[in-house]
Amino acid sequence: MIAYLWIKAFHLVFVVTWFAGLFYLPRLFVYHAMCDDTISEARFRIMERKLYYGIMMPSIALTIGLGLWLVALRGHAWLTQTTWLHVKLAIVVALVAYHFYLGQLRKAFAAGRNRHGHVFYRWLNEAPVLALIAVVVLAVVKPWTV
């Protein structure tokens, strides 16, 4: 049980760091889309690359790895009897897709091929907020528990 709690604690730490990136990268895109000088553009490219590869990629890997470890420790029966977990995992899959979509947008900025304005990125920045609310409610309240 002690090992489970340590794994869960570090899982939550990396969820927080991953979400920090999911919140901040689209915000950088907002400012990047609004800038019009080469010095600022170069600065944003560096910031976006370091955030994505230095913080977000390790965080997503550790979040998923530790989450899978937690599920494995609980056992197959637990996985099949918890509807709330299935919904939470579906949201996590959507967040993973969102994460890699942000990576594609980052590559487009780096190559000078951004096709979106700052308003698009402002709206894009709201998606992880809704997902975070849903995931926290599901993990804490555990509705539909058998």
Domain membership of residue 71 (yes or no) is yes
The answer to whether the beta carbons of residues 28 and 48 sit under 8 Å apart is: yes
Q: What's phi and psi for 143, nearest 5 deg?
A: -65, 160
Residue range(s) defining the domain that contains residue 27: 2-141
Residue 57 lies in a domain: yes
Q: Is 30 among the domain residues?
A: yes
Question: How many domains in the chain?
Answer: 1
pTM summary value: 0.93
pLDDT band at 46 (very low <50, low <70, confident <90, very high): very high
pLDDT value, residue 146: 61
Asked if residue 67 is part of any domain, the answer here is yes
Per-residue DSSP letters for 57-124?
HHHHHHHHHHHHHHHHHH-HHHHHTBHHHHHHHHHHHHHHHHHHHHHHHHHHHHTT-----HHHHHHH
Residue 146 lies in a domain: no
- Asked if residue 64 is part of any domain, the answer here is yes
